[in-house]
Amino acid sequence: MSGNTRHVPVMLQRCLDMLAPALAEPGAVVVDCTLGLGGHSEALLATFPAARLVALDRDPVALRLAGERLAPYGERATLVHAVYDELPEVLDRLGLPRVQGVLFDLGVSSMQLDEAERGFAYAQDAPLDMRMNQTTGISAADVLNTYAPGDLVRILRSYGEEKQAKRIVEAVVRERAKEPFTNSARLVELIRDALPQAAKRTGGNPAKRTFQALRIEVNAELASVERAIPAAVKSLAVGGRIAVLSYQSLEDRIVKQVLAAGAANTAPPGLPVVPERYQPRLQLLTRGAELPTEEEVAENRRAAPARLRGAQRIREDIA
Protein backbone atom coordinates (compact mmCIF):
# COMPACT_ATOMS: atom_id res chain seq x y z
CA MET A 1 0.00 0.00 0.00
CA SER A 2 1.54 3.27 -1.08
CA GLY A 3 0.30 5.04 2.07
CA ASN A 4 2.91 3.09 4.03
CA THR A 5 5.71 5.15 2.61
CA ARG A 6 3.96 8.53 2.83
CA HIS A 7 2.19 8.18 6.17
CA VAL A 8 3.83 10.19 8.97
CA PRO A 9 3.10 8.72 12.43
CA VAL A 10 1.79 11.28 14.92
CA MET A 11 4.37 12.86 17.28
CA LEU A 12 6.74 10.04 16.40
CA GLN A 13 10.02 11.43 17.71
CA ARG A 14 8.49 12.44 21.02
CA CYS A 15 7.03 8.96 21.51
CA LEU A 16 10.44 7.43 20.77
CA ASP A 17 12.20 9.84 23.13
CA MET A 18 9.69 9.12 25.89
CA LEU A 19 10.15 5.35 25.64
CA ALA A 20 13.91 5.39 24.94
CA PRO A 21 15.29 5.08 28.51
CA ALA A 22 13.32 1.84 29.01
CA LEU A 23 14.24 0.20 25.69
CA ALA A 24 18.03 0.41 25.52
CA GLU A 25 18.79 -2.90 27.28
CA PRO A 26 19.03 -6.12 25.21
CA GLY A 27 15.87 -8.19 25.49
CA ALA A 28 13.60 -5.20 26.22
CA VAL A 29 10.04 -5.80 25.04
CA VAL A 30 7.87 -2.97 23.73
CA VAL A 31 4.17 -3.36 22.96
CA ASP A 32 2.50 -1.27 20.26
CA CYS A 33 -1.15 -1.70 21.28
CA THR A 34 -2.44 0.04 18.14
CA LEU A 35 -0.40 -1.24 15.20
CA GLY A 36 -2.37 0.38 12.34
CA LEU A 37 -0.13 0.72 9.30
CA GLY A 38 2.94 0.02 11.42
CA GLY A 39 4.61 3.45 11.35
CA HIS A 40 5.29 3.67 15.08
CA SER A 41 6.22 -0.04 15.22
CA GLU A 42 8.72 0.24 12.39
CA ALA A 43 10.36 3.24 14.06
CA LEU A 44 10.56 1.38 17.40
CA LEU A 45 12.28 -1.60 15.75
CA ALA A 46 14.68 0.61 13.79
CA THR A 47 15.53 2.91 16.73
CA PHE A 48 15.98 0.20 19.37
CA PRO A 49 17.83 -2.69 17.66
CA ALA A 50 18.08 -4.66 20.93
CA ALA A 51 14.32 -4.56 21.56
CA ARG A 52 11.58 -7.03 20.67
CA LEU A 53 8.18 -5.77 19.50
CA VAL A 54 4.73 -7.16 20.22
CA ALA A 55 2.05 -5.35 18.18
CA LEU A 56 -1.74 -5.65 18.48
CA ASP A 57 -4.55 -4.67 16.13
CA ARG A 58 -8.18 -5.70 15.82
CA ASP A 59 -8.23 -4.98 12.08
CA PRO A 60 -7.11 -7.98 9.96
CA VAL A 61 -6.33 -5.70 6.99
CA ALA A 62 -4.02 -3.55 9.12
CA LEU A 63 -2.24 -6.67 10.39
CA ARG A 64 -1.64 -7.90 6.86
CA LEU A 65 -0.30 -4.56 5.56
CA ALA A 66 1.82 -3.87 8.64
CA GLY A 67 3.10 -7.46 8.51
CA GLU A 68 4.48 -6.80 5.02
CA ARG A 69 6.08 -3.59 6.22
CA LEU A 70 7.71 -5.19 9.28
CA ALA A 71 8.77 -8.42 7.52
CA PRO A 72 12.45 -7.32 7.30
CA TYR A 73 12.62 -7.42 11.13
CA GLY A 74 11.80 -11.13 11.19
CA GLU A 75 11.28 -12.69 14.61
CA ARG A 76 11.87 -9.39 16.44
CA ALA A 77 8.26 -8.49 15.59
CA THR A 78 5.27 -10.51 16.83
CA LEU A 79 1.94 -9.34 15.40
CA VAL A 80 -1.26 -10.37 17.16
CA HIS A 81 -4.92 -10.08 16.10
CA ALA A 82 -6.44 -8.66 19.29
CA VAL A 83 -8.19 -5.62 20.76
CA TYR A 84 -5.84 -3.68 23.02
CA ASP A 85 -7.79 -4.47 26.18
CA GLU A 86 -6.80 -8.12 25.59
CA LEU A 87 -3.18 -7.18 26.38
CA PRO A 88 -2.92 -9.30 29.58
CA GLU A 89 -4.08 -12.45 27.73
CA VAL A 90 -1.72 -11.76 24.81
CA LEU A 91 1.30 -11.31 27.10
CA ASP A 92 0.31 -14.39 29.06
CA ARG A 93 0.16 -16.49 25.87
CA LEU A 94 3.59 -15.19 24.83
CA GLY A 95 5.09 -15.91 28.26
CA LEU A 96 5.88 -12.24 28.93
CA PRO A 97 4.90 -11.38 32.52
CA ARG A 98 6.46 -7.89 32.28
CA VAL A 99 7.39 -5.51 29.45
CA GLN A 100 9.61 -2.43 29.27
CA GLY A 101 7.50 -0.20 27.03
CA VAL A 102 3.89 0.27 25.93
CA LEU A 103 2.60 2.64 23.24
CA PHE A 104 -1.03 3.50 22.45
CA ASP A 105 -2.08 5.60 19.44
CA LEU A 106 -5.83 5.68 20.11
CA GLY A 107 -8.68 6.40 17.69
CA VAL A 108 -9.03 5.55 14.02
CA SER A 109 -6.00 4.63 11.94
CA SER A 110 -5.12 6.60 8.81
CA MET A 111 -5.82 3.53 6.70
CA GLN A 112 -9.36 3.25 8.07
CA LEU A 113 -10.02 6.94 7.45
CA ASP A 114 -8.56 6.86 3.94
CA GLU A 115 -10.52 3.83 2.70
CA ALA A 116 -13.92 5.29 1.87
CA GLU A 117 -15.72 1.96 1.99
CA ARG A 118 -15.00 1.63 5.73
CA GLY A 119 -17.48 4.46 6.40
CA PHE A 120 -15.43 6.34 9.03
CA ALA A 121 -15.15 9.63 7.14
CA TYR A 122 -18.10 12.01 6.88
CA ALA A 123 -16.50 13.89 3.98
CA GLN A 124 -17.27 11.17 1.41
CA ASP A 125 -20.27 8.93 0.80
CA ALA A 126 -19.75 5.34 1.94
CA PRO A 127 -21.59 2.47 3.63
CA LEU A 128 -22.24 3.26 7.31
CA ASP A 129 -19.98 0.55 8.70
CA MET A 130 -17.27 1.98 11.03
CA ARG A 131 -16.20 -1.41 12.42
CA MET A 132 -12.45 -1.57 13.01
CA ASN A 133 -12.76 -5.34 12.56
CA GLN A 134 -15.22 -5.88 9.72
CA THR A 135 -15.54 -9.60 10.44
CA THR A 136 -17.54 -9.14 13.64
CA GLY A 137 -20.02 -6.95 15.50
CA ILE A 138 -22.70 -4.43 14.56
CA SER A 139 -22.24 -1.61 12.06
CA ALA A 140 -23.05 2.07 12.46
CA ALA A 141 -26.09 1.51 10.22
CA ASP A 142 -27.33 -1.16 12.65
CA VAL A 143 -26.99 1.29 15.54
CA LEU A 144 -28.87 4.04 13.70
CA ASN A 145 -31.64 1.74 12.47
CA THR A 146 -32.29 -0.37 15.57
CA TYR A 147 -31.37 1.51 18.76
CA ALA A 148 -34.13 3.08 20.83
CA PRO A 149 -34.28 6.89 20.53
CA GLY A 150 -33.22 7.36 24.17
CA ASP A 151 -30.13 5.20 23.64
CA LEU A 152 -29.18 7.15 20.51
CA VAL A 153 -29.49 10.46 22.38
CA ARG A 154 -27.32 9.09 25.21
CA ILE A 155 -24.64 7.90 22.75
CA LEU A 156 -24.49 11.21 20.87
CA ARG A 157 -24.30 13.19 24.12
CA SER A 158 -21.85 10.91 25.95
CA TYR A 159 -19.53 9.91 23.11
CA GLY A 160 -19.90 12.84 20.72
CA GLU A 161 -20.53 15.62 23.25
CA GLU A 162 -23.25 16.68 20.81
CA LYS A 163 -25.46 19.41 22.28
CA GLN A 164 -28.07 18.93 19.55
CA ALA A 165 -28.40 15.17 20.13
CA LYS A 166 -32.16 15.20 20.70
CA ARG A 167 -32.84 17.18 17.55
CA ILE A 168 -30.61 14.90 15.43
CA VAL A 169 -32.14 11.71 16.86
CA GLU A 170 -35.69 12.95 16.24
CA ALA A 171 -34.74 13.43 12.58
CA VAL A 172 -33.04 9.99 12.44
CA VAL A 173 -36.10 8.23 13.89
CA ARG A 174 -38.41 10.02 11.45
CA GLU A 175 -36.22 9.13 8.45
CA ARG A 176 -35.45 5.52 9.38
CA ALA A 177 -39.19 4.81 9.54
CA LYS A 178 -39.37 5.69 5.82
CA GLU A 179 -36.21 3.83 4.83
CA PRO A 180 -33.31 2.32 6.86
CA PHE A 181 -29.96 4.15 6.79
CA THR A 182 -27.23 2.52 4.71
CA ASN A 183 -24.86 5.31 3.60
CA SER A 184 -23.05 8.20 5.22
CA ALA A 185 -24.11 10.98 2.81
CA ARG A 186 -27.77 10.69 3.82
CA LEU A 187 -26.84 10.94 7.50
CA VAL A 188 -24.57 13.96 6.89
CA GLU A 189 -27.37 15.72 4.98
CA LEU A 190 -29.90 14.91 7.72
CA ILE A 191 -27.59 16.37 10.40
CA ARG A 192 -27.06 19.56 8.36
CA ASP A 193 -30.81 19.97 7.96
CA ALA A 194 -31.56 19.20 11.62
CA LEU A 195 -29.13 21.66 13.20
CA PRO A 196 -29.95 25.32 13.83
CA GLN A 197 -27.88 27.83 11.86
CA ALA A 198 -25.84 28.90 14.91
CA ALA A 199 -24.72 25.32 15.59
CA LYS A 200 -23.52 24.95 11.99
CA ARG A 201 -21.22 27.94 12.19
CA THR A 202 -18.77 26.49 14.74
CA GLY A 203 -16.53 23.46 15.13
CA GLY A 204 -15.98 22.25 11.57
CA ASN A 205 -18.23 19.69 9.86
CA PRO A 206 -21.52 19.46 11.80
CA ALA A 207 -21.55 15.66 11.36
CA LYS A 208 -18.18 15.23 13.09
CA ARG A 209 -19.52 14.66 16.62
CA THR A 210 -22.23 12.23 15.53
CA PHE A 211 -19.75 10.16 13.50
CA GLN A 212 -17.35 10.08 16.46
CA ALA A 213 -20.15 8.91 18.76
CA LEU A 214 -21.26 6.14 16.39
CA ARG A 215 -17.68 4.95 15.90
CA ILE A 216 -17.05 4.78 19.65
CA GLU A 217 -20.30 2.83 20.18
CA VAL A 218 -19.68 0.39 17.31
CA ASN A 219 -16.17 -0.44 18.51
CA ALA A 220 -16.81 -0.12 22.28
CA GLU A 221 -13.76 2.14 22.30
CA LEU A 222 -14.07 3.88 25.66
CA ALA A 223 -14.80 0.64 27.51
CA SER A 224 -11.70 -0.85 25.84
CA VAL A 225 -9.57 2.16 26.85
CA GLU A 226 -10.87 1.98 30.43
CA ARG A 227 -9.70 -1.64 30.66
CA ALA A 228 -6.55 -1.33 28.54
CA ILE A 229 -4.67 1.56 30.19
CA PRO A 230 -4.69 0.07 33.73
CA ALA A 231 -3.78 -3.35 32.26
CA ALA A 232 -0.85 -1.79 30.37
CA VAL A 233 0.41 -0.03 33.51
CA LYS A 234 0.17 -3.33 35.40
CA SER A 235 2.23 -5.07 32.70
CA LEU A 236 5.17 -2.65 33.03
CA ALA A 237 8.35 -3.78 34.75
CA VAL A 238 9.89 -1.32 37.20
CA GLY A 239 11.62 1.26 35.02
CA GLY A 240 9.20 0.53 32.17
CA ARG A 241 7.42 3.36 30.40
CA ILE A 242 4.01 3.96 28.81
CA ALA A 243 3.21 6.59 26.16
CA VAL A 244 -0.39 7.29 25.11
CA LEU A 245 -1.64 9.43 22.21
CA SER A 246 -5.32 10.32 22.33
CA TYR A 247 -7.38 12.48 19.99
CA GLN A 248 -10.53 13.40 21.85
CA SER A 249 -11.26 14.58 25.38
CA LEU A 250 -13.15 11.46 26.51
CA GLU A 251 -10.16 9.17 25.86
CA ASP A 252 -7.66 11.70 27.20
CA ARG A 253 -9.65 12.03 30.45
CA ILE A 254 -9.46 8.27 31.06
CA VAL A 255 -5.70 8.21 30.38
CA LYS A 256 -5.14 11.23 32.65
CA GLN A 257 -7.12 9.67 35.51
CA VAL A 258 -5.36 6.28 35.35
CA LEU A 259 -1.87 7.78 35.20
CA ALA A 260 -2.62 10.37 37.90
CA ALA A 261 -4.01 7.68 40.22
CA GLY A 262 -0.85 5.60 39.73
CA ALA A 263 1.33 8.61 40.52
CA ALA A 264 -0.59 9.55 43.68
CA ASN A 265 0.28 8.85 47.29
CA THR A 266 -2.74 6.88 48.58
CA ALA A 267 -1.94 7.03 52.30
CA PRO A 268 -4.61 8.19 54.74
CA PRO A 269 -3.90 11.78 55.83
CA GLY A 270 -1.83 12.36 58.94
CA LEU A 271 0.55 9.37 58.79
CA PRO A 272 4.02 10.44 60.00
CA VAL A 273 5.68 7.93 57.66
CA VAL A 274 4.04 6.71 54.44
CA PRO A 275 4.22 2.88 54.25
CA GLU A 276 5.47 1.31 51.02
CA ARG A 277 2.02 0.07 50.00
CA TYR A 278 0.72 3.64 49.77
CA GLN A 279 3.66 5.03 47.78
CA PRO A 280 3.07 6.04 44.13
CA ARG A 281 3.61 3.30 41.55
CA LEU A 282 4.16 5.72 38.66
CA GLN A 283 6.08 8.88 37.92
CA LEU A 284 4.45 11.14 35.33
CA LEU A 285 6.63 12.00 32.31
CA THR A 286 4.47 14.87 31.04
CA ARG A 287 3.14 17.96 32.75
CA GLY A 288 -0.47 17.76 31.67
CA ALA A 289 -0.75 16.56 28.09
CA GLU A 290 1.89 17.46 25.50
CA LEU A 291 0.49 18.98 22.31
CA PRO A 292 1.87 18.70 18.78
CA THR A 293 4.02 21.53 17.47
CA GLU A 294 3.07 23.57 14.40
CA GLU A 295 5.71 21.62 12.47
CA GLU A 296 4.21 18.28 13.52
CA VAL A 297 0.75 19.41 12.41
CA ALA A 298 2.13 20.73 9.12
CA GLU A 299 3.77 17.33 8.54
CA ASN A 300 0.57 15.43 9.39
CA ARG A 301 -2.67 17.39 9.78
CA ARG A 302 -4.20 14.46 11.71
CA ALA A 303 -1.81 15.28 14.56
CA ALA A 304 -3.72 18.52 15.30
CA PRO A 305 -6.01 17.18 18.07
CA ALA A 306 -3.39 14.79 19.53
CA ARG A 307 -2.55 14.74 23.24
CA LEU A 308 0.48 12.82 24.50
CA ARG A 309 0.79 11.57 28.09
CA GLY A 310 3.40 9.29 29.59
CA ALA A 311 4.51 7.67 32.82
CA GLN A 312 7.28 5.47 34.21
CA ARG A 313 6.79 2.54 36.58
CA ILE A 314 8.82 3.25 39.75
CA ARG A 315 7.48 0.56 42.11
CA GLU A 316 5.87 -2.85 42.02
CA ASP A 317 2.29 -3.26 43.19
CA ILE A 318 2.08 -4.58 46.73
CA ALA A 319 -0.90 -6.78 47.47
- 40 annotated as ligand-binding: yes
- 7 annotated as ligand-binding: no
- 85 annotated as ligand-binding: no
Whether the CB-CB separation of 140 and 212 falls below 8 Å is answered with no
Whether the CB-CB separation of 102 and 242 falls below 8 Å is answered with yes
* C-alpha–C-alpha distance, residues 59 and 112, integer Å: 9
- 67 annotated as ligand-binding: no
DSSP state at residue 220: T
- 57 annotated as ligand-binding: yes
Residues in contact with 249: Cβ distance below 8 Å, sequence separation at least 6, in sequence order: 161
- 151 annotated as ligand-binding: no
Instruction: For residue 284, list its beta bridge partners.
Output: 311
Instruction: Give the Å distances, CA to CA, from 140 to 188, 194, 233.
Output: 13, 19, 32
Angle at 242 between CA 236 and CA 243, to 5 degrees: 165
Task: Please spell the DSSP secondary structure of 44-96, one letter per residue.
Answer: HHHH-TT-EEEEEES-HHHHHHHHHHHGGGGGGEEEEE--GGGHHHHHHHTT-
- 112 annotated as ligand-binding: yes
The binding site for S-adenosyl-L-methionine consists of 38-40, 57, 84, 105, 112
The binding site consists of 38-40, 57, 84, 105, 112
